[in-house]
Amino acid sequence: MQKIEFHNTGTVGEKLLQRYVQYLRLERSYSVNTLDAYVKDLQKLLNYYSDEGINFRDVTLDELDHFAATMVDLGISSTSVARILSGVRSFYRFLMLEREIATDPTELLESPKRAKRLPDVLSVEEVDAIESQIDMSRDEGQRDLAIIETLYSCGLRVSELCGFLLSNYYPEEGFIRIHGKGNKERLVPIGSRAIREINLWLEQRSQMKCIKAGHEDYLFLSLRRGTKLSRITLFVMVKELAERAGITKNISPHTFRHSFATHLLEGGANLRAIQAMLGHESIATTEVYTHIDRSRLRQEVLEHHPRNILYRERHGE
């Protein structure tokens, strides 16, 4: 297990910090990206302790409030400050569990109020406009079309799309198996349009001769490198397609996930079914799946997602 480097550890000590990292990895089952974010945010606190000469065991609520205020003064957004303070609370909860401290100084620590901002949503016409900008004469064309359709038809996170495995693709059953945040597994319905585009991509993928060892099971691959796609590659691809389509909204791969949920909700789908399909932690429990069975989840998508409604109209299903 790779050791994470810290700086300005001060009174906390390197060994205790590595135990905390191990706690996040093993006990909290955080992904690499989440773990990296927690470590970076904790380093900000360690730097503050070092600059102010504060012992982590003796820190007061007032000093932590000052830490938060300092970040705001530096121009860090309220959303980022709230995230950093969430990491601070996590660290002190760990210290309490380890009996390194007797009282938790973060118990009354308040986060700054976040400005409410609704994410941008694409219309069905805008999704079509983005897809129309894909150059199907390029080798990557069919792959990129399958990617956009999968993002929009299944509401996946970008990390889930990048990690999508061939062995978790069940077109005959109309489902894909996804490993989400915290390595939590869920079954997600997939519609006929997305299945068609993926299957066309699979025909092309089967001709690839440069797939790197260890990447054979990833569905979406770089044609040049033969490795699974990176998050950055998807962000750049989506941005470029949106710009070429003349869409001025703030577009990212996550926009398709939010559009998926919004369009289903507007179409009359059950809210709890949508939450289950998205894999939100608040409802990703066994109890929820006892109330919403798999056939019903798939039926919600087939009945209410605009892609499937249009597909049925065109093909008479």
Residue-wise burial string across 162-201, b where 16 or more C-beta atoms lie within 10 A, e elsewhere: bbbeeebbeeeebbbebbbbeeeebbbbbbbbbbebbeeb
Quote the tokens at residue 28: 């909290």
Residues with Cβ within 8 Å of 276's Cβ and at least 6 positions away in sequence, in order, are 186, 283, 284, 288, 289, 292, 297
- Residue 278 CA to residue 194 CA, distance in Å, equals 17
Q: How far apart are CA 234 and CA 167, in angstroms?
A: 22
Name the CA radius of gyration of the chain, rounded. 23
Distances (CA, A) of 109 to 27, 34, 91: 24, 22, 13
> 139, 223 in Cβ contact below 8 A?
yes
Report the catalytic residues: 157, 181, 254, 257, 280, 289
**CB-CB contact of 163 with 262 (8 Å):** no
Q: Is the dihedral of CA 271, 272, 276, 281 positive or negative?
A: positive
Q: Which residues pair with residue 177 across a beta bridge? A: 187
